Structure 1
Amino acid sequence: MRTATLFLLAVAGPLLGAQARTWSDASGDYTLDAQLVTFNQRFVVLERDDHELVSIEITTLSDDDREYLASREAAQTAQQASQAPQTWTLRDGSQVTARVVDYAQQQLTLQRRRGRVYVNDRPLRNLPAFYQKIVPQIVAQAENLSRPTQAGLEDWLVGQRGGPRVFSVEGVLLETENGDEYGVPFSLLSDEDQRVLRPGLRAWQAEQQRENYQGQQDAAYRLRALAHARQQNNQVRREMAELSLNLQQAQAGITSAWEVTLYPAAGVSAAPRWVVVWGRDSRQATLRALEQNPGFVAGPVRRVARRVRR
């Protein structure tokens, strides 16, 4: 049996990128028409004609596809994706121009020294204007500030008698034009932006707990691809999912492949999965998918087309 894992992100409209072409896995059993969005050393992100983004492990692609990814045209497309500006909306309606580069789970240390406010040993007044505005709001969520402004923050810090205070930030890491990075809590982003960016956090945290650095990097890459897609399309319809092609040789009389949607059971830190399996009917396909993926519960099932070698 040969297994290839893909990550799907559904989007509402076409992305800007290279011309559509036919891609296939190394065996030629699975093909799709899609255009290149971006890629790194491990994954390539494609936009299918149904406006879903597919992230595929490059090692599972055909020789022709890997050769194309080594071309100048592909490199230019990936560069455009990595440099495209992004604008995110805060809960108060203000906007921030910065690129999402990773999830953030970090500590923010505040202290007032010599009449100035320091954030992680950097003067607050030297930080970007948007972050000067965000810091008091971070504190206001945990402490009783008279008002969530810089003046209110200074008044509160005076009462701390010079002692440092530490706050946790769980959200995304935004990179500004000069390359500096700032952690922004999900709670301070607009509901729409939270809906787009938050879903992969639990999987990223699970990799962090396992001290799986590569797994964290892969999750961060998928987040960046998702953020780029959202900016190009302005809406993302649903959470990223994994698609596993677990297609063994079909048994006699079985001619249909089924896509079974699986959701992680309570307490399982994983993304939803779309598992493609053979089955005489949807019920048999669902049972097979559940056997192959313990810890998940079944969702919608649909028959899918697949090219079968004769």
Structure 2
Amino acid sequence: MRTAAGARTSIAFDAIGTRWTITAAEPIEAALVARVDEVIAEYDALWSRFRPDSGVARIAAGEAVDLGPTAPPLLDLLAELRERTGGGVDPLVAASLDHLGYGPAGDLRPAPGWLPAPRAAIRRDGTVVRTDPPALLDVGSAGKGQLVDLVAAALADAGRREAIVDASGDLRVAGAPLRVALEHPYDPTAAIGVVEVAEGAIAGSAVNRRDWSLEGGRRLHHVLDARTGEPVDTVAATWVLAESAMVADALATALFLVEPEALEDAYDFRWVRMRTDGVATWSADLPGEVFG
């Protein structure tokens, strides 16, 4: 996604494997930068499946781990979406991603075939989480959005009432409305439409964001059907506008697996979806336009 905004103060940095840009109407002092760094570091220490010392890694080793106040809303949302997608969205998909080479080793060398997400129960007592049997969690379908919300909250707490937090396409906007171009999944120099985001969030997911080759030429990507462990091959890209980046992020993933109607009775959101054959559909009340 590409954005357009007026003259503001911006900082850019890399964290959790992605590029971040924070833009505000007022200066972003060193103390606020340090607070943002702290928020991100704390989240990464709990939820990163790429770290052997993280909270989710300890759960995979058989521990019951206190994941703090971010756990209830995040895991409840993912549990709801697991139900609504018939198991297609599942935080236990970590094993399937690792099987395809998208794991801590980072070698992108897939093992043969597909590996469905393991059958395990996620047990939660307040903020303390364990799995039965032990299994690794991957909350990438909503976690980056939740972290965007946390960073936006840190900015608001510091008095930055007009700000944009952008984590490589997951955006939270406070203050003046922002026009956002929807990047074509097959041509990063083109857009398939433009939407306006005001006091809310937008998140997108696309097959070209994290993709790699399987021996024999098939392209793999990170959006899997957890029931089979196979990359989804019918949808190329999705975008969702919602009140929070966590919900927008999660629903953008869910739209790879179900029709919007399966979600509209439970969530307040607007959406655009492009299939792999190039056909795009969108919600009737989308605040913007999709090009013909």
Pairwise same-fold verdict (TM > 0.5):
no
Considering only CA atoms, is the larger Rg found in Structure 1 or Structure 2?
Answer: 1
The TM-score, its normalising length taken from structure 1, stands at 0.29
